[in-house]
């Protein structure tokens, strides 16, 4: 088992113990170096805000060349997993989801099929969540949701404002479901959804249809009608997905 510890000070000094950064074979690729560092983060040996050893020391610990290490670090920096600060060192970022999904904006811009895959995931997660929310939503939460619906209806002609109202409404539905595990799935998907919505909300007529879909979802939740809520959410996501497919086909 890897062991290590950092004694963080104001300037994030550190102390390495045992074999945290154990060496690779000499034919190692930068990809393997990056994978090792990612494993240390996943296993909590490296945490948000931690400072890595200087490049020369880290290369010696892992017994790799500095160019290979630098290439791996640059790849992780592009993913917003680490931050390379000129004259200060290399740090693990805050690892906030909204930072980590930023590169996906580029991925989505290259391949619309990725957006369609996202809708498959949303239909699995959000249809289940809205069914739970229909059973568990409180009067106070319902009042908040109706305020979100009002924002959604009022901003149907303003794609940018509608995007924010849409995100808020779907987030509140997820919270009303009161399932922490499902909510974590939803949090991940919603960050990707922010990227996808930035494109789909500009499809002509989509925001107006989505606002009406929101009305149906909220009505089902208010009646605590599980099946109606599930169907309304599925219809909403199907509608957006269908419009997206039409757009992709027309562009081809």
- pLDDT score at 252: 62
Span 51-65, average pLDDT? 92
Span 136-145, average pLDDT? 97
For 215, the 3-state DSSP assignment is helix
- pLDDT score at 24: 52
Please give the structure tokens belonging to residue 71: 């290439």
* C-beta of residue 16 within 8 angstroms of C-beta of residue 61: yes
Choose between 178 and 182: higher pLDDT: 178
| Record: fold of 104-251 | 1.20.120
- pLDDT score at 116: 81
Q: In Å, what is the CA distance from 219 to each residue of 118, 140, 142, 252? A: 26, 15, 10, 38
**Residues in a beta bridge with 83:** 91
Using one digit for the tens of pLDDT, what is the confidence trace for 62-88? 888 999 999 999 988 888 889 999 889
Instruction: Enumerate the domain spans of the chain.
Output: 1-94, 104-251
Q: Is the pLDDT of residue 216 over 50?
A: yes
- pLDDT score at 18: 44
Threshold 0.85, pTM exceeds: no
| CATH number for the domain whose boundaries are 1-94 | 1.10.10.10
């Amino acid at each position: 088992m890897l062991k290590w510890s950092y004694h963080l000070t104001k300037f994030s000094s550190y102390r390495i113990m045992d074999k945290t950064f154990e060496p690779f074979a000499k034919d190692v690729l930068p990809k393997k170096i990056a994978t090792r560092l990612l494993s240390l983060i996943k296993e909590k040996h490296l945490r948000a805000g931690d400072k890595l050893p200087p490049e020369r020391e880290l290369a010696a610990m892992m017994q790799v060349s500095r160019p290979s290490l630098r290439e791996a670090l640059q790849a992780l920096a592009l993913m917003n997993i680490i931050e390379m600060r000129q004259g200060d060192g290399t740090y693990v970022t805050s690892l906030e989801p909204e930072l980590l999904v930023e590169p996906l904006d580029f991925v989505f811009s290259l391949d619309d099929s990725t957006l369609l895959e996202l809708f498959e995931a949303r239909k699995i997660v959000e249809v289940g969540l809205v069914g739970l929310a229909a059973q568990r939503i409180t009067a106070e939460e319902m009042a908040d949701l109706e305020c979100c619906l009002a924002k959604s209806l009022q901003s149907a002609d303003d794609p940018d404002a509608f995007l924010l109202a849409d995100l808020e409404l779907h987030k509140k539905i997820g919270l009303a479901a009161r399932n922490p595990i499902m909510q974590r799935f939803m949090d991940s998907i919603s960050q990707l959804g922010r990227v996808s919505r930035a494109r789909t909300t500009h499809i002509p007529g989509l925001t107006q249809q989505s606002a009406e879909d929101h009305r149906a979802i909220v009505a089902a939740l208010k009646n605590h009608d599980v099946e109606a809520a599930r169907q309304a959410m599925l219809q909403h996501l199907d509608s957006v997905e269908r419009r997206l497919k039409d757009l992709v086909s027309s562009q081809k």
